[in-house]
Structure 1
Amino acid sequence: MAEKPILYFLCTGNSCRSQMAEGFGHELLNDRWEVKSAGIEAHGMNPKAVEMMNEVGIDISNQESSVIDQDILNKSSLVITLCGDAKENCPVLPKGIESDHWGLEDPAKATGSEEEVNEVFREVRDEIKKRVENLSK
């Protein structure tokens, strides 16, 4: 059986947006893609990202925050950056690797009441879900 192509989600700290994207990828694309995520740096898993994904029935608590692995990057078929920092600072992609950029707000920087912060997380989460669903078409 042939190996599945690798889909690599990249972000600044691999704590929030890329983790949610990886979670949706495992849930929605696992039959066709090997889904991974990483960051320019590893900031650890954002507990609010875990909480917001649990709201939609996806457990990302066992995923790990990690830095970009050059070997995985070189083997990837599709690399998606989820923030400008990752797009600008991502290592140069080898020829033949498709890439896309989803410039999404960093929910970890949201301010206000807990409900206002949760709403920003939900908006970003739902946008990521919609975009990951579009990858499955």
Structure 2
Amino acid sequence: MKPKVAFICVHNSCRSQMAEALGKQLASDAFDSYSAGTETKPRINQDAVRIIKSLYNIDMELSQTSKLIDDIPKDIDIVITMGCNVECPYLPSKHREDWGLDDPSGKADDEFIRTAKIIEEKVMDLRKRVLEEGLGK
């Protein structure tokens, strides 16, 4: 059975949503991807939606919504916090790490692109660690 990975940040509208989308597209053979936050927004960040669609041809609004931690499975194996600079909620897991990403919200497209590329790199690294080292199992 594949480990479940939860990407967590405060509003679940930008970085964690991008990570969920890229996890689903690039690493679904290694783990199941979820995202959530301690608060939600009515819509996913529209700049993030546009950038992810243009870079990866993924329409996040078709398959994802802003979710609370209570809305995702309870038996998460790996928790990835995005770097909220606030106390992220405790979620029991076998492995936890913080990716320390700055929120690109309200910034220029190049910041969103840079953030997306960093998330892509980190998702691929996580995929490798899950497959080769059994992380989260």
Gaps of 5+ in 2: 129-137
Contact 2:35 2:72 (C-alpha < 8 Å) held by counterparts: no
Among residues 26, 29, 32, which one is paired with 2:27 in the alignment? 29
CA distance in 2, matches of 1:52, 1:135: 22
AA paired with 2:17? Q
Q: How many residues align?
A: 125
State the match for 1:46 in structure 2.
45
CA distance in 1, matches of 2:75, 2:91: 10
CA distance in 2, matches of 1:132, 1:89: 20
Among residues 88, 99, 104, which one is paired with 1:102 in the alignment? 99
CA distance in 1, matches of 2:123, 2:16: 11
Gaps of 5+ in 1: 111-116
Contact 2:6 2:80 (C-alpha < 8 Å) held by counterparts: yes
- % identical equivalent positions: 36
* Secondary structure of the corresponding residue to residue 136 of structure 1: helix
Which contiguous aligned blocks of 4+ residues in structure 1 show a shift greater than 6 angstroms?
A: none
State the TM-score, normalized to the length of structure 2: 0.83
State the TM-score, normalized to the length of structure 1: 0.83
CA distance in 2, matches of 1:71, 1:21: 15
Pair 1:122–1:5, CA change in 2 (3 A): same
